[in-house]
Amino acid sequence: MNLTDGKIWTEDIPEEWKRLYVGSRGINARLLWDYCKDPDITWDDPRNIIIYAPGAVTGTTAPASGRTSVTTVGCTTGLYLKSNTGGHWGAELKYAGYDHLVVHGVAKEPSYILIEDDNVEIRNAKELWGKDIIETDALLKEWHGEDSRGLYIGPAGENLVRASSIHCSLYHAAGRGGGAAVMGKKKLKAISVRGTKPVRVKDPKKFAEVAQEMRENLRADSGAQGLHEFGTSGSISAVNEMHAFPGKNWQTGYTENVHPITGQALNEGGYLKRRVACFGCTIGCHRYSVIPSGPNKGLASGGPEYETFGALGNGPGIIDTEGVLILNEICNRLGLDTITAGTVSQWAIESYLRGAISLEDTDGLELDWGKLDEVKQTIEKMAFRDGKLGNLLGDGLKIATNKIGQDSYKWAIMNKKGLEQSNVETRSAKAYALAFAVNPRGNDHLMTETFAEFGSSPEAVELIEKLTGDKKWASSHFTEFRAEIVRWHEDCYEITEALGFCVFTSTAAFGVNPDNMARLYAAATGIELSEEEMMLTGRRVCTLEKAFNVTRGATREHDDLPWRLMNEGAASGPLKGETNSRAELDNALDQYYTLHEWDLETSWPYRKTLEKLELKDVADYLEKRGLLPKE
Amino acid sequence: MMEKLLLVDMDKCTGCKQCTLACSLIKEDLFDPQRGRIKVLKKEDIALGVQLVCEQCESFPCVASCPNGALSRDEATGIITVDEKKCTSQGACVDACIYHSIRLHPESRQPMFCDLCGGNPYCVKHCVPEALTWVDKSDEMEKKKKKLRSARMAMYRDLKKEET
C-alpha cells in the first residue's frame, strides 16, 4: 500500500522468488533491492519502503516458526535493516492471507492500518498518536476485538528516536536499528490484524513428520530446556564466570554479585509470573514478570531478556532485579530498544564522568554508575527528546559522538556502521567478533550468531567439527576457521528466518537444521531443494544484503568493531588484556571475503560471485554505479 | 487397556497454540486456530493462555440444550457426537456448555467436540511444556483434573467480568 495516495493493492509473489529467496527475510531483501537500491533513497525519504513478513511456514505446527522479519532502509545506520520479532502478529497476518505487507510513502496525518482478511484500510490514528505501547494495544483491541493482533510504535518512534523499537503483541519487538523511526517518519502508528483463513501446506502428512522431528529434537535439547526454565537471562551467571558479561560500558567483564540480574533470580524472587511463547513455539523462552511486593508492587511487563539485564542492568551498574524490571517496563511502554537505550545511557554516564559532557548537557543530572533514578530519567528524556540530554541521546551514538567530538567515539560501543553493540564480549569470542564486524546492519548478534563456537553442548562440538574438520576448534578464543564458522551460520541463520523459525531453534538450541528445513519446505510448497541448495538461498540473500550496503558506500572499513574493543584489553579473567585488534580482524576479514569471493580491498562482491548466485541484475546495477571491483 | 484422562494445566500453558493447530491438522489437514476442538483463550496484556476443551463432563448440559436433539453422548467415554442432519447451527450448545469449550466450525457452522482422537490425543504430543498430559486414570488424577479445571474456570470468569 502507499500511504501518500492511499492506494492499496495485492500482487502475487513471483514463483521463481520462492526458489531463490524462500520467504520473509529473503523475499524482503529482494523487494527492498527492487524498490530502494537507489542510494538517494535515504531512511527518511518517502520512497523508502518498510516490509513486514512472517515466514514461509508461519502459522503451522513447525515449532517456533511464528516470527516476522521487518525490512527497510535503517535510520540508525542509513544502511540495510532487517529486524525480526516474535509474538503473535505475524501468524495473524498469514491467516489474513498475506505473506508480505509492503508499505510505501508517507501519510499526511498520523495513520494506522487495519487488516481484517480481505478488508484493508488506512485509518486516522489521531487518537493513538502520543499513546504508549500498552495504551495503543488496548485501544486497538477495544476497536477491533480481543482476538486482533497489534504491531505499533511508541512515543520514541513518533519522535524519530534512533533507539526506538517496533513492538508487537505488546512485549515482543523488532527492536534494533530504528525501524520504528521509519514508521514514525511515515506517520504510521500501528497495524492491527485479524485473520480467519486457514493455512494449507502441499503435503500435510510429510509436513507433520518433519515438524515432529524438529519438535522432538528441541524437546530433548538442553539449550531449549534451559531457555524454557530460566529464559534468555538464564545464561548470565555462566557468561559472567567467563568474564564476558559487559559492565560499566564494557570496562568490566565480571560482576561480583551478579545473581540479582539473572533469570534464576526472577524465578527465585517470585518475579516470574508466567513463561510465555511466541506463536507456535514449543520452547517458550519469553517471561512475563511482576514485582510481587513493596513500593513497586504490581509493576508488570514482558521480559527482561539477557540483553536487557546486560544493557540496563550490568551496563549502567544497576545490579538490582527490581531496578531492571522498572527500566524494562519503561522501555516497553515508550517503545525503546533496551539494547540501544542502555548502551547510549552508558555512553552518557561515561561521557559525564570524563567531563566530555557537562551538567548543563545532562540537564542537571549527576550521572554515575548504579544510579537507577538517573538512568530512568535519561531513558525518558531520550524517548521524548526532552531537553539537551534527550536531544543528544535521541539521535543515537553515531550522531551524538560527532556532536560531542573530543574522544567520545573511544567509549561509544558501536562500529563504523553506527549501531550500538549488543552484549556479547567479542574480545574473547572470535567468530562472534567477525560476525559482528561484517553484519550488514551493524554489530550485533541478530543477523547471524555463532553460539556453537563455545562448544557448550555435544551438538555444538559436532557442528564445529563438521565445519572445521576437528572438534578441537570448538572454543571461542581460537582465531582459526572463524570465517568458515561465520559463513555457515550466516546461511543457516538466513534460511531459519526466511522460513519464520526462531533462530534459537537452529543456532542456540539444535533442533532445526538445514537438512530438515529443506525437507519441511518441500513438504510445505512442493519446491524440492537439497540441503546445499537451501543453504545457497541463504548465501544469496546475505550477498544481496551486502550489495545493498555497497550502493550506500559501505566498504571494508565499515566492517570493524568498537574502538574500545579493538584497542583496550578485556579487564579480567582468562583472556585478560585480549582485544579485537586491527591485525586480528584484518586477518579474519581476508579469510571471510575470500570464502565469499568478495574483493579484499573494498569488500565488494565480484560480478562472477553475483552471477553464480543468480544475481546478474544486481551486478549490472552495481557496474552502472561504478561499484563492481576489478577481478 | 488402562483408562486415561486428559489433564489441562493453565499454569504451564505458554499460549503458543500448538495444540489448536495440531487439532486442525489431524481433523482437517490444515492449520487454523479457529478449527481446533481445543482452543486457547489468549490474553496478551497479561501473557495468559487459558485452554478450553470438552471435558466429557457428567452433567453434559449441551445435549439437553439442543432443541433438535442433534447431540448424543457415549456413556462409556463421555464423548459427544453431532448428528449433522439434525443440527441447525443455532448455537444453543455453545451457550449451554459450562466449560465454555464449544465453538461452531467456521465453514459448516456445526459445533466441534473433542473426541480425544479415539484414545490417543494428537494435541498432547505437541505440548512440550506439558500443560496437556494424558495420564492413567485414578482417583487422585480425577481429583487433579477437577482442580485444574476449577482454576481455569475461575480465571475465565474473572476475565469475562473484566470485559464487562
Q: What is the pLDDT of residues A109-165, one digit of tens each?
A: 999 999 999 999 999 999 999 999 999 999 999 999 999 999 999 999 999 999 999
ipTM of predicted assembly, 2 dp:
0.97
Report d(CA A434, CA A315) in Å as an integer. Answer: 23
Q: A103 and A79 in one domain? A: yes
B126: chain A residues, CB-CB within 8 Å = 61, 215, 282
Which of A149, A171, A194 is the endpoint of a domain?
A: A194
Q: Tens of pLDDT along A525-545?
A: 999 999 999 999 999 999 999
**pLDDT tens figures, B59-97:** 999 999 999 999 999 999 999 999 999 999 999 999 999
Q: Please report, for the domain that includes residue B90, its CATH number.
A: 3.30.70.20
Residues of chain A contacting residue B17, judged by C-beta atoms under 8 Å apart: 279-280
Please tell me the distance in Å from A404's CA to the nearest CA on chain B.
41
Is residue A198 very low, low, confident or very high in pLDDT (cuts 50, 70, 90)? Answer: very high
> Which of A60, A170, A199, A274 best tests the B interface by mutation, with the highest count of B CBs <10 A?
A274
In a domain, A421, yes or no: no
Based on the fold, state whether residues B13 and B39 are members of the same structural domain.
Answer: yes
pTM: 0.98
Q: Which residue of B has its CA nearest to A229?
A: B129
Q: Is B34 found in the same domain as B8?
A: yes
pLDDT band at B162 (very low <50, low <70, confident <90, very high): confident
Q: Which residues of B touch A (CB under 8 A)?
A: 11, 14-18, 21-22, 24-25, 28-35, 42-48, 106, 125-126, 128-129, 163
**Interchain contact, B14 vs A281, CB within 8 Å:** yes
Q: Are the beta carbons of B125 and A282 separated by less than 8 Å?
A: no
For residue A171, give every residue at least 6 positions away whose Cβ sits within 8 Å of its Cβ, in sequence order, or none.
A87, A286, A288, A301, A302, A303, A332, B47
Query: What phi and psi values does residue A268 have, to the nearest 5 degrees?
Result: -70, -35
Indicate whether B33 and B13 sit together in one domain: yes
Interface of A with B in 191-250 (CB under 8 A): 196-201, 204, 208, 212, 215, 218-219, 228
Chain B CB contacts of A212 below 8 Å:
125
**CB-nearest partner of A228 from B24, B29, B129:** B129
**Rg, Å, chain B Cα set:** 15
Residue A77 maps to a domain: yes
pLDDT in tens, A474-487: 999 999 999 999 99
Q: Which residues of B touch A65 (CB under 8 A)?
A: none
Contacts of B23 in chain A (CB under 8 A): none
- Residue B94: what are its φ and ψ, rounded to 5°? -60, -45
Tell whether the model's pLDDT for residue A262 goes beyond 90. Answer: yes
- Whether B21 and A88 lie within 8 Å, measured CB to CB: no
Based on the fold, state whether residues B122 and B159 are members of the same structural domain: yes
The Cα of A229 is separated from the nearest Cα of chain B by a number of Å equal to 10
Q: Which of residues A383, A411, A439 is at a domain's end? A: A411
Model confidence at A169: pLDDT above 80: yes
CATH no. for residue A312?
Answer: 1.10.569.10
Both A456 and A537 in a single domain?
Answer: yes
- CATH classification at residue A523: 1.10.599.10
For residue A200, tell me if it sits in a domain.
Answer: no
Query: Are A79 and A176 found together in one domain?
Result: yes
Q: CA–CA separation, A624 vs A164, rounded Å? A: 36
Q: Which residues of B touch A278 (CB under 8 A)?
A: 16
Q: What is the mean pLDDT of residues A465-471?
A: 97
Among chain A residues, the shortest Cα distance to B27 is held by A204
Q: What is the mean pLDDT of chain A?
A: 98
| pLDDT on residue B1 | 52
Domain annotation covers residue A34? yes
CATH of the domain at B49: 3.30.70
Asked, for residue A416, whether it belongs to a domain, the answer is no
Are B2 and B74 in the same domain?
no
- Per the listing, cell 557496474 goes with A623
Q: Which helix (H) or strand (E) holds A384?
A: helix A372-384
A381 pLDDT more than 60: yes
With CB atoms and an 8 Å threshold, state whether A284 touches B129.
Answer: yes
Q: Based on the fold, state whether residues B46 and B120 are members of the same structural domain.
A: yes
Taking CB atoms and an 8 Å limit, are B31 and A275 in contact across chains?
no
Query: Do A181 and A72 have their domain in common?
Result: yes
Contact A249, A350 (CB under 8 A): yes
Instruction: Please indicate, yes or no, if residue A222 is contained in any of the structural domains.
Output: no
Q: Are residues A445 and A389 in the same domain?
A: no
Partner B, chain A 75-94, Cβ-Cβ below 8 Å: 88
Is B124 found in the same domain as B87? no
pLDDT of the residue at B163: 77
Residue A631: Cβ within 10 Å count: 9
Structural domain boundaries, residue B72:
57-113
Same domain, A184 and A54: yes
Instruction: Please name every residue paired with A116 in a beta bridge, in sequence order, or none if there are none.
Output: A119, A194
Q: Give the pLDDT confidence score for residue B145 in this predicted structure.
A: 97
Domain membership of residue A66 (yes or no) is yes
Domain-embedded: residue A201 = no
Residues A23, A145 within the same domain: yes
Query: Is the same domain home to B108 and B63?
Result: yes
A198 CA to chain B: closest CA distance, Å? 5
pLDDT tens for residues B17-71?
Answer: 999 999 999 999 999 999 999 999 999 999 999 999 999 999 999 999 999 999 9
Give CA–CA dist A446/A487, Å, rounded. 14
Chain B residues near residue A219 by CB distance under 8 angstroms:
128
Looking at the fold, whether A63 and A161 belong to one and the same domain comes out as: yes
Domain boundary among A384, A411, A438: A411
Mean pLDDT of the region A306-310 = 98
Q: What is the pLDDT of residue A575?
A: 87
b/e code A441-471 from CB counts within 10 Å (16+ = b): bbbbbbbbbbbbbbbbbebbbebbeebbeeb
Partner-chain contact A198 B32, CB within 8 Å = yes
Going by C-alpha positions, the residue among A136, A193, A128, A146 that lies closest to residue B164 is A146
- B98, B119: one domain: no
Interface test with A, best of B14, B117, B159 (most A CBs within 10 A): B14
Interface test with A, best of B44, B127, B163 (most A CBs within 10 A): B44
Check whether residue B16 and residue B94 sit in a common domain.
no
Note whether A234 and A351 are same-domain residues.
Answer: yes
Number of domains, chain A: 3
pLDDT of B2 strictly over 80 = no
End residue of a domain, out of B113, B133, B154: B113
Query: Within an 8 Å CB–CB cutoff, is residue A282 touching chain B?
Result: yes
Q: Does A498 share its domain with A370?
A: no
Domain range enclosing A616: 426-624
Q: Are residues A396 and A539 in the same domain?
A: no
What value does the mean pLDDT take over residues A427-440?
98
The whole-number average pLDDT for the span A429-445 is 97
Residue with cell 465453538: B103
Question: Which residues fall within 8 angstroms of residue B161, CB to CB, at 6 or more apart?
Answer: none
B34 and B78 belong to one structural domain: no
d(C-alpha A43, C-alpha A25), whole Å: 18
Number of structural domains, chain B?
2
Is the predicted pLDDT of residue A195 greater than 80, yes or no? yes
Exposure string of B83-118, with b = 16+ CB inside 10 Å and e = fewer, is: eeeebeeeebbbebbebbbbbbbeeeeebbbbbbbe
Verify that A266 and A393 share a domain, yes or no. Answer: yes
Taking contacts as CB-CB distances below 8 angstroms, the residues of chain A near B33 are 95
